[in-house]
């Protein structure tokens, strides 16, 4: 009788882990969607930011190589400096979530392209954390150069968006420079961080007790969706790339630990790394707005001039 009870408990735990793995995979690939809504507060703020710079939000779209329909906004200020910035949002967010960054760029004359990542906002598809999105970024750069012809194309991504822009550098070599705030270096390590964060622990919990569920989620992604989630790796993508990269990370980040940006910097020493003490995930602009603007704008400006000198 005792052995049967132990067996039932073990079977129950196995089933619980399997269900947890399936749920984890599905929630990751189908995050709670913040849909584009013209009545939303962030959309209204985005419209106001565009109008303050003498521009207006233009709805734009492209079709990805696999047929996925991607949506976004484009805005050009009245006094353009001839350059453009692509803003890439984090997981579970949408283009409107990048509204706080609009003013700093539009007032300096940068045009902005603000896409909804696949599986987010008004874009179709499922989230793959850079596996397919790297090609999507390449497509958006194609659209910018074909339709707006900027002198320089830059990018700023946060969290998932930061990891996506870094992975895009494997196939996209036309950026003059990119900024990545709170990126992950390796998707599996990021999974350890994010799952452990839900229980307010360090990544050790994801690497130990919850590891079977995470590994099961990777397996479910491969079997059910045909996705090689193990190949999602910004660290592999930026190895040896020459595109100027500024990494920004809060030292107190419990969602994606600062070790990720430190590892990326170690892998590619040509990157610049700014670690901000006491700051949580993607909150550097909110907590240090002036310093953030000064560093990012100076970084883009320096590489805009460098690109112009190279072209001459």
pLDDT in tens, 122-138: 999 999 999 999 999 99
Percent of the chain clearing pLDDT 90 (strictly above) = 69
Confidence of residue 38 (pLDDT cuts 50, 70, 90): very low
User: Rounded to the nearest 5 degrees, what angle is found at the Cα of 29, between the Cα atoms of 28 and 35?
Assistant: 95
Mind listing the pLDDT tens digit for each residue in 51-62? 999 999 999 999
Q: How confident is the model at residue 142 (pLDDT cuts 50, 70, 90)?
A: very high
Q: Work out the number of other CB atoms within 10 angstroms of the CB of residue 204.
A: 11
* Predicted pLDDT of residue 26: 45
CB-neighbour burial class of residue 8 (10 A; exposed 0-12, middle 13-18, buried 19+)? exposed
Token pair belonging to 172: 């996209």
Selected residue with higher pLDDT from 21 and 74? 74
Residue 49 has a pLDDT of: 95
Higher pLDDT, 219 or 111: 111
Q: What is the pLDDT of residue 24?
A: 44
Cβ atoms < 10 Å from Cβ of 64: 19
Instruction: Pick the more confident residue, 175 or 20.
Output: 175
In contact, 255 and 279? CB cutoff 8 Å: no
Q: Which fold has domain 55-186+232-311?
A: Rossmann fold (3.40.50)
- Per the model's pLDDT, the better-predicted residue between 213 and 296 turns out to be 296
Band of pLDDT at residue 196, cut at 50, 70 and 90: confident
Domain ranges of the chain: 55-186+232-311
Using one digit for the tens of pLDDT, what is the confidence trace for 243-289?
999 999 999 999 999 999 999 999 999 999 999 999 999 999 999 99
Task: State yes or no: pLDDT of 13 exceeds 50.
Answer: no
- Secondary structure of residue 69 in the 3-state scheme: strand
């Amino acid at each position: 009788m005792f052995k049967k009870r132990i067996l039932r408990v073990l079977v129950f735990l196995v089933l619980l882990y399997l269900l947890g793995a399936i749920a984890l995979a599905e929630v990751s690939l189908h995050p709670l969607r913040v849909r584009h809504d013209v009545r939303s507060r962030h959309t209204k703020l985005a419209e106001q930011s565009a109008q303050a710079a003498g521009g207006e939000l233009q709805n734009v779209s492209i079709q990805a190589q696999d047929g996925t329909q991607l949506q976004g906004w484009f805005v050009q200020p009245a006094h353009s400096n001839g350059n453009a910035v692509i803003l890439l949002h984090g997981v579970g967010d949408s283009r409107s979530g990048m509204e706080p960054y609009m003013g700093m760029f539009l007032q300096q004359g940068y045009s902005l392209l603000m896409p909804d990542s696949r599986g987010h906002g008004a874009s179709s598809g499922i989230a793959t954390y850079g596996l397919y999105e790297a090609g999507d970024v390449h497509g958006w750069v194609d659209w910018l150069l074909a339709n707006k012809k900027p002198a320089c194309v830059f990018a700023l991504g946060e969290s998932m968006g930061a990891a996506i822009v870094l992975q895009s550098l494997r196939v996209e070599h036309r950026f003059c420079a990119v900024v990545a705030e709170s990126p992950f270096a390796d998707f599996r390590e990021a999974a350890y961080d994010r799952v452990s964060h839900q229980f307010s622990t360090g990544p050790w919990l994801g690497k130990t007790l919850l590891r079977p569920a995470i590994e099961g989620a990777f397996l479910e992604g491969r079997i059910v969706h045909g996705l090689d989630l193990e190949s999602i790796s910004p660290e592999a993508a930026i190895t040896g790339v020459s595109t100027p990269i500024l990494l920004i990370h809060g030292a107190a980040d419990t969602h994606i630990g600062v070790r990720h940006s430190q590892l990326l910097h170690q892998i590619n020493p040509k990157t610049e790394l700014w670690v901000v003490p006491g700051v949580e995930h993607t909150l550097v602009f909110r907590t240090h707005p002036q310093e953030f603007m000064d560093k990012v704008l100076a970084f883009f400006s320096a590489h805009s001039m460098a690109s112009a000198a190279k072209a001459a």
